[in-house]
């Protein structure tokens, strides 16, 4: 497998040396100052990135249901570590101050959609996001989630789901406090509650919208009929499901349903839990605390077979002069104009690279060729552990 980060580092070192040699010569001729601005412009164009000046990415916008957002969002899914450390699901860490700086840098780059949830932490991710967005809240779209049975005082997870209307209202009031805001732009039911009719949930969303507390709502990993029933009560703004080159299940029924009803689509795990970014090899062993250790498609035998997809992505990334992660994200945004992926990371450089994937495009011929190659690759192993899979595509009970 190609060591992508080493390739990019070597390429950057060579380019920097050429630039230094050229500028030394230019300095001897007395023309170096005239070249500096031109060199900087060339660098920015070559990187295919929006300028970091706030507002410069205004032309890179797309519809997400009733919302208008930057084509790439940011997932904030962090759990407490020791001291000030915060960890993601894949054994990557940062600290609270760095996490806040990462979020604010994303805003500088034009990112407008920030996705989190009550259960991430629990409470920690919402709290960090709320602190990070102080003073810039009106520039962004905040999405969060309810739906698990979490003790509102201690954060203890008390079992399965809880979407009873009184519980939803209690959760929303607590979320508003943690997020330090007067409204949630997009609130998802994290998983369908098999004990609560979706009409009750959608009706609660409608009431919260009338109060101005929740502007729009969505569903995560829902059953198809549940979407239709919810939409009939109060319009669903977005569906959030896993979707990437590694898991293309939504293409069969969910994306057509979104298109039919005018619902936006938000892929979670758009980089296949890091797999598509080129950070996983056939020999990778997942450490304790890494969610992928329990995922069947990352088991040793399956992982070795699935490396064919990594090789395809890396080959196309070299061809397009982008990172593998940028290639994978751009493929998602090219699929439909109302798809907005939300890659999560604790790494500032990776976040910046992901955000700049908004400027990567494909010709129709390229996209057709890439999709044909993807169709020929069989992915081995289920996408989630059995217990987690049981909570997907659930249909809510009927309303009596």
In sequence order, the β-bridge partners of residue 145 are 188
How much of the chain is helix, strand and coil, in % rounded to 5? 45, 15, 40
- Average pLDDT on 62-81 reads 97
User: First and final CA of the chain: distance in angstroms?
Assistant: 56
Between 18-22, 208-212, 364-368, 394-398, the lowest mean confidence (pLDDT) is in 18-22
Could you give the 3-state DSSP secondary structure of residue 75? strand
> How far is residue 151's CA from residue 192's CA, in Å, rounded to a whole number?
19
Residue 299 has pLDDT above 50, yes or no: yes
Mean pLDDT in residue range 83-96: 93
**In this predicted structure, what is the pLDDT of residue 58?**
53
Q: What's the pLDDT tens digit per position in 1-42?
A: 455 555 545 544 544 444 444 333 333 333 333 333 333 333
Instruction: Give tens-digit pLDDT for 129-170.
Output: 999 999 999 999 999 999 999 998 899 999 899 999 999 999
Rounded mean pLDDT, 391-399: 98
Across 261-270, average pLDDT: 98
Listing DSSP states for 112-181 in one string gives -EEE--TTTTTTHHHHHHHHHTTTTGGGSEEEEEE-EEE-TTT--EEEEE---HHHHHHHHHHHHHHHTS
pLDDT at residue 6, rounded to an integer: 53
Q: Distance between CA 236 and CA 258 in Å, rounded?
A: 9
How many other C-beta atoms can be found within 10 angstroms of the C-beta atom of residue 252?
A: 8
Give me the pLDDT at residue 202, please: 99
Q: Which residue has the higher pLDDT, 31 or 351?
A: 351
Catalytic residue selected from 90, 120, 188, 243 = 120
C-alpha closest to that of 239 among 184, 193, 189: 189
> Each residue of 301-325: pLDDT tens digit?
999 999 999 999 999 999 999 999 9
Helix, strand, or coil here: 332? helix
CA distance 285 to 137: 40
In this predicted structure, the answer to whether residue 128 has a pLDDT above a threshold of 90 is yes
The predicted structure's pLDDT at residue 206: 98
Average pLDDT, the chain: 89
| Rounded Cα gap, residues 50 and 43, in angstroms | 12
Assess contact for 60 and 71: CB atoms under 8 A: yes
Does the pLDDT at position 245 exceed 60? yes
Express as a percent the part of the chain with pLDDT over 70. 86
Mean per-residue pLDDT, 102-115: 98
Please say if 120 is a catalytic residue: yes
6 to each of 103, 301, 323, 373, how far by Cα in Å?
26, 26, 12, 26
Which of 115, 123, 104 is CA-nearest to residue 264? 115
């Amino acid at each position: 497998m190609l060591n992508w980060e080493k390739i990019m580092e070597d390429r950057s070192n060579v380019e920097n040396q050429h630039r230094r040699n050229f500028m030394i010569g230019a300095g001897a001729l007395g023309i170096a100052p005239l070249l500096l601005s031109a060199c900087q412009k060339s660098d920015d164009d070559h990187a295919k990135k929006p300028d970091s000046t706030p507002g410069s990415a205004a032309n890179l916008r797309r519809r997400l249901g009733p919302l208008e957002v930057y084509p790439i969002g940011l997932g904030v899914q962090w759990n407490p570590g020791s001291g000030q450390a915060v960890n993601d699901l894949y054994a990557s860490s940062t600290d609270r101050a760095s996490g806040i700086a990462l979020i604010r840098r994303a805003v500088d780059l034009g990112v407008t959609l920030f996705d989190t949830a009550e259960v991430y932490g629990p409470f920690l991710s919402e709290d960090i996001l709320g602190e990070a967005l102080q003073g810039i809240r009106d520039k962004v779209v905040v999405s969060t989630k309810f739906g698990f049975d979490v003790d509102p005082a201690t954060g203890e997870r008390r079992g399965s789901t809880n979407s009873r209307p009184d519980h939803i209202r209690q959760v929303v009031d607590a979320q508003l406090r943690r997020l330090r805001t007067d409204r949630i732009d997009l609130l998802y039911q994290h998983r369908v509650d098999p004990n609560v009719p979706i009409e009750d949930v959608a009706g609660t969303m409608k009431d919260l919208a009338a109060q101005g507390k929740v502007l729009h709502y969505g569903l995560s990993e829902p059953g198809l009929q549940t979407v239709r029933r919810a939409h009939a009560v109060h319009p669903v703004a977005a569906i959030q499901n896993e979707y990437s080159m590694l898991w293309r299940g939504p293409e069969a029924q969910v994306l057509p349903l979104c298109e039919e009803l005018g619902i936006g689509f938000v892929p979670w795990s758009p980089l296949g839990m890091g797999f598509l970014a080129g950070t996983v090899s056939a020999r990778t062993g997942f450490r304790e605390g890494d969610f992928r250790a329990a995922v069947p498609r990352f088991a040793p035998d399956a992982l070795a077979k699935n490396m064919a997809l990594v090789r395809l992505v890396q080959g196309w990334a070299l061809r397009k002069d982008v990172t593998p992660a940028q290639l994978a994200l751009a493929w998602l945004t090219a699929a439909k104009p109302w798809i907005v992926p939300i890659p999560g990371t604790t790494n500032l450089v990776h976040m910046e690279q992901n955000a700049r994937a908004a400027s990567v495009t494909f010709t129709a011929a390229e996209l057709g060729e890439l999709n044909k190659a993807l169709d020929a690759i069989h992915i081995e192993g289920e996408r989630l552990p059995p217990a987690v899979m049981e909570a997907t595509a659930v249909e809510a009970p009927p309303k009596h």
